Amino acid sequence: MENESLYVTGSLIAIFFQNPSNFYKVMLIGVEETNTPYEELEIVVTGSFGDMIEGETYQFIGHLVDHPKYGKQFQVETYKKIQPTTENGLVEYLSSDKFPGIGHKTAEKIVETFGDKVIEIIMNEADRLFEVDGITKKRQQVLHEGVRENYGMEQVIVSLHDYGFGSQLSMAIYQQYKGETLELIQENPYRLCEDIEGIGFKKADQLAENIGIEATSSSRIQAAIQFELLQGSLNEGNTYLEAEMLLEQTIQLLETSRPVEITPNLVADEIIQLVDAGKIQQEGTKLFENSLYFAEFGIATSIKRLLSRKKRIKYDEAAIDKIIAQLEKQNKMNYGDSQILALKEAIRSPLFVLTGGPGTGKTTVINGIVSLFAGLNDLSLDINEYHNEVFPILLAAPTGRAAKRMNETTGLPSSTIHRLLGLNAGEKINAEEIEKLEGGLLIVDEMSMVDTWLANLLLKAIPTNMQVIFVGDKDQLPSVGPGQVLHDFLQVDEIPSCELTDIYRQGNGSTIISLAHGIKNGKLPADLTKNQPDRSFFQCQAVQIEPIIRQIVTKAQAKGFTAQDIQVLAPMYRGVAGIDNINNMMQEIFNANPNGTRKEVKWNDKVYRIGDKVLQLVNEPELNVFNGDMGVITGIIFAKDSDNKVDELVISFDQNEVTYGRNEWSKITLAYCCSIHKSQGSEFRMVIIPMVNQYARMLQRNLLYTGITRSKELLIMLGEASAFIRATDNEATNRLTYLLPRISEALELAPHIYIESNDTEEVTQKNPNTYQQVVNETLERTNEQDVLSPVTEDYVLTETLVTQGIISPMIGMTEGVTPYDFEPIPH
């Protein structure tokens, strides 16, 4: 925690809400003492809690928040039960009905004997109770067990600290196992790495070693296999692992955790045991973690169910044409041919997949489908007309921001998939228990971000007679979780789909579009490093990234570009060419404080000033602000001037303004430069993308594609050409999944000719010394059509040319970008 810790001590009056599947609770507390500025007698606290007893006194550590709907609340990080401290309090406590058989007199005697140490003694040296007159074996037991139950959590937490777990982890462990914690851990310490996020195999193994579990014991090896199977899948986004790979990686995990040799046979035997016991699943030489195996199975079953709906969708061709013509007239536009095809096929399919890059009009088609569906079914799109019935068109997306955007473009209600399904984040849920949705049409946008687990839950919730449209860009970044559901669906012939390719947003002269198009097919144009009207390239090394961006941005600023127009997109935070470093530099250009006379606030390593461009990092649906939204700081209120007596930032996002107290500043960060991941779903006039080999593992094709396609007008690339090539060659989307054969199986088709997805060209390990050769090879591979002009060495911008002022960084952007009127600098 960054600030002094705030606490509230008080007694639990009531539990307003508790989520039975996790430990989230909302409770009302009668305030006895606090160091917060809160002055009311009662306060609402929220957070994760174990068993809470009404009437008991607790101390909560955390911070005050201002909830937009529920007002001031105390958000709890940790808490503990407070023992009664005064002798009177202790007597009251011990004579209460928690301890049957102990009256006031007895309680007084006990407290007289042991004083304020009484709780500790009852808990740890219960036999000493016999020193007190009138304590029978039975009473001693009642006291011992009662106190243990009440103070059990603290006891357990203390023991967990002894095991080497920090307070956060200890809380998480206690919340999982509660009173049984210590027994369960003793019995099988490896359950920790299965059940608790943040505890890996090695940590659990350390504990196991202390407890005396042998290095070659079955429980240890099985735990390692299961851990590696899930982690191995998660790390690479795969839904299964090849047995050989699992064997190898498991041995490595076991041997690095403890220096004892483990033979392959030993591990292989345990794999067989696990398969026999149904704890992992096997398909030929492929091994699956259970939840991923069943999720793929479930998806396939749902696809089959949806495709074979009984009630046929029969819409009159003429009626469809009529409505489309009406829409065109009404909106004063014409659909493209491929858009019309997509509309017609989508409206007649039980399940339809629509894909396409930025600017191809996916949103236009979504709107068209909505209107078409409403028109054909004679439905009103005015939600106010639906009082008792549900609105028949459901819109959803995997992120809050995409959902908000859908709402803005359609004017209809939209939600995250999680909200739609009533899921809690991170919660494991049985797909069979999920409630069916109600309505006639469901459209899901940004489907590329949906992983195998969520796709299964979503599909399970769709009733058979609901039409479904999945929309997304298959070439964007894959989902955070395992799988590549959209990508796989598009390869199933039986699932109707359409790819939009015509670009409506940019002119045909745009070389950014052709560059993006080339990259998604694994090709870089020969003129990558040559200037075009809408893009340019600077060759430089990692250490030069920052100074060169500084020059580019300074010049662009002089041409009238604002911080909102220019977006630097980088793959990672750390390092000289990392986001953090670039952000600080950009802040000095756009919003400096040279004399130190401007208002500013410090937070961790950052400084915020009025005018700073910031990025929202969490969803705040009540405020209509979502993860990935960008805003500007419009006010700084120092603690002495604020109502809440804390430093506050006022931030303006599009239309609405929010105020964040210091304890909420972790919800934002500087946004001059942001990660390519975070930029998904946004577009900017000018995009600057650095790529250097230092970004190593982040150099992936779809990452570069996503970054480049964020640009609406101008694109500036800089760094090492070899890094751009590496990224283009590295097709990381191709994850190992078994969804295609699973769907074929479900649809009872002849087995697909199943192509191993990692079976791509040999592009992996190339000697960096042969860099020029790689460049040449890649350029040679380039399709003739994409070659706009041959490489001419004189035009390659180098750092020297720029720093010496020989070339303006804006060179090349002189034609066809009339509004900004760049001056060509002769050289």
* Whole-angstrom distance, CA of residue 571 vs CA of residue 556: 22
Taking CB under 7 A as the criterion, the residue among 205, 289, 445, 451 binding DNA is 451
8 Å CB contact between 188 and 219: yes
Closest approach of DNA to the CB of residue 570, in Å: 9
Q: Which is nearer to DNA, 43 or 185 (CB)?
A: 43
Phi-psi region of 628 (alpha: psi -120 to 50; beta: other; left: phi over 0): left
Q: Which residues of 502-529 are buried (b: 16+ CB within 10 A; e: fewer)?
A: ebeebeeebbbbbbbbbbbebbbbbbbb
Q: Which is nearer to DNA, 425 or 755 (CB)?
A: 425
Taking CB under 7 A as the criterion, the residue among 203, 460, 678, 701 binding DNA is 678
Asked whether position 416 contacts DNA by CB under 7 A, the answer is: yes
Question: Scanning the structure block, which residue is given the tokens 């921001």?
Answer: 401
DSSP 634-699: EEEE-GGGSTTSS-EEEEEETTEEEEEEGGGGGGEEE-SEEEHHHHTT--EEEEEEEE-GGGGGG-
Asked whether position 423 contacts DNA by CB under 7 A, the answer is: yes
* Whole-angstrom distance, CA of residue 524 vs CA of residue 518: 6
Piece in contact with DNA (CB under 7 A), picked from 119-127, 153-161, 552-560, 625-633: 625-633
Closest approach of DNA to the CB of residue 108, in Å: 41
Residues near 681 by Cβ (< 8 Å), separated by ≥ 6?
Answer: 399, 401, 402, 405, 446, 628
Taking CB under 7 A as the criterion, the residue among 5, 16, 634, 776 binding DNA is 16
Closest approach of DNA to the CB of residue 618, in Å: 7
Closest approach of DNA to the CB of residue 449, in Å: 7
Taking CB under 7 A as the criterion, the residue among 1, 37, 70, 217 binding DNA is 70
Please state the residue numbers annotated as binding site for ATP.
359-363
Site residues for DNA, window 286-315 (CB under 7 A)? none
* Whole-angstrom distance, CA of residue 585 vs CA of residue 706: 24
* Whole-angstrom distance, CA of residue 249 vs CA of residue 147: 47
Asked whether position 449 contacts DNA by CB under 7 A, the answer is: yes
Asked whether position 567 contacts DNA by CB under 7 A, the answer is: no
Q: Which is nearer to DNA, 1 or 313 (CB)?
A: 1
Beta pairing class for 684-691 and 286-289: unpaired
- Taking alpha carbons only, the member of 88, 33, 35 closest to residue 57 is 33
Q: Which is nearer to DNA, 469 or 699 (CB)?
A: 699
Q: Which is nearer to DNA, 44 or 303 (CB)?
A: 44
Question: Scanning the structure block, which residue is given the tokens 């020059």?
Answer: 551
Asked whether position 38 contacts DNA by CB under 7 A, the answer is: no
Closest approach of DNA to the CB of residue 559, in Å: 29
Piece in contact with DNA (CB under 7 A), picked from 246-254, 645-653, 675-683, 744-752: 675-683
Taking CB under 7 A as the criterion, the residue among 148, 258, 419, 609 binding DNA is 419
SS3 content of the chain, % helix, strand, coil (to 5): 45, 20, 35
Q: Which is nearer to DNA, 237 or 350 (CB)?
A: 237
DSSP 23-53: -EEEEEEEEEEESSS--SSEEEEEEE-S---
Closest approach of DNA to the CB of residue 732, in Å: 8
Q: Which is nearer to DNA, 477 or 548 (CB)?
A: 477
Piece in contact with DNA (CB under 7 A), picked from 67-75, 158-166, 186-194, 327-335: 67-75
* Tokens of residue 235, six digits: 């790390």
Asked whether position 481 contacts DNA by CB under 7 A, the answer is: yes
- Taking alpha carbons only, the member of 630, 593, 162 closest to residue 170 is 162
Q: Which is nearer to DNA, 170 or 476 (CB)?
A: 476
Q: Which is nearer to DNA, 359 or 578 (CB)?
A: 578
Taking CB under 7 A as the criterion, the residue among 15, 26, 53, 791 binding DNA is 26
Torsion of CA 525, 530, 533, 538, to 10 degrees: 110
Closest approach of DNA to the CB of residue 757, in Å: 17
* Whole-angstrom distance, CA of residue 548 vs CA of residue 554: 10
Site residues for DNA, window 208-267 (CB under 7 A)? 235, 237
Residues near 694 by Cβ (< 8 Å), separated by ≥ 6?
Answer: 542, 575, 576, 577
Q: What is the largest CA-CA distance in the chain?
A: 103
Closest approach of DNA to the CB of residue 472, in Å: 14
8 Å CB contact between 420 and 407: no
Taking CB under 7 A as the criterion, the residue among 109, 550, 609, 677 binding DNA is 677
Asked whether position 182 contacts DNA by CB under 7 A, the answer is: no
Asked whether position 619 contacts DNA by CB under 7 A, the answer is: yes
Closest approach of DNA to the CB of residue 252, in Å: 15
Taking CB under 7 A as the criterion, the residue among 140, 521, 627, 798 binding DNA is 627
Count the residues of the shown chain that bind DNA, applying the rule CB under 7 A: 47
Taking CB under 7 A as the criterion, the residue among 621, 659, 791, 798 binding DNA is 621
Taking CB under 7 A as the criterion, the residue among 480, 543, 788, 825 binding DNA is 480
Taken in order 180, 184, 190, 195, the sign of the CA dihedral is negative
Please state the residue numbers annotated as binding site.
359-363
Asked whether position 726 contacts DNA by CB under 7 A, the answer is: no
Residues near 517 by Cβ (< 8 Å), separated by ≥ 6?
Answer: 357, 786
Closest approach of DNA to the CB of residue 755, in Å: 23
Closest approach of DNA to the CB of residue 399, in Å: 3
Piece in contact with DNA (CB under 7 A), picked from 304-312, 525-533, 672-680, 763-771: 672-680
* Tokens of residue 161, six digits: 């600290």
* Tokens of residue 598, six digits: 């401007």
Asked whether position 356 contacts DNA by CB under 7 A, the answer is: no
* Whole-angstrom distance, CA of residue 51 vs CA of residue 578: 45
* Whole-angstrom distance, CA of residue 703 vs CA of residue 706: 5
Asked whether position 44 contacts DNA by CB under 7 A, the answer is: yes
What are the CA-CA distances from residue 16 to residues 10, 26, 27, 40, 68 (Å)? 16, 5, 5, 18, 18
**String of contacts with DNA for each residue 574-593, x by CB under 7 A:** x---x---------------
Closest approach of DNA to the CB of residue 628, in Å: 6
Q: Which is nearer to DNA, 675 or 808 (CB)?
A: 675
Asked whether position 425 contacts DNA by CB under 7 A, the answer is: yes
Closest approach of DNA to the CB of residue 621, in Å: 6
Q: Which is nearer to DNA, 49 or 174 (CB)?
A: 49
* Whole-angstrom distance, CA of residue 83 vs CA of residue 99: 15
Taken in order 140, 143, 146, 148, the sign of the CA dihedral is negative
Closest approach of DNA to the CB of residue 213, in Å: 28
3-state secondary structure of 715: strand
Site residues for DNA, window 693-722 (CB under 7 A)? 696-698
The footprint of DNA (CB under 7 A) covers 16-17, 19, 22, 24, 26, 44, 46, 67, 70, 73, 235, 237, 398-401, 415-416, 418-419, 423-426, 449, 451, 454, 480-481, 571-574, 578, 618-619, 621, 626-628, 675, 677-678, 696-698
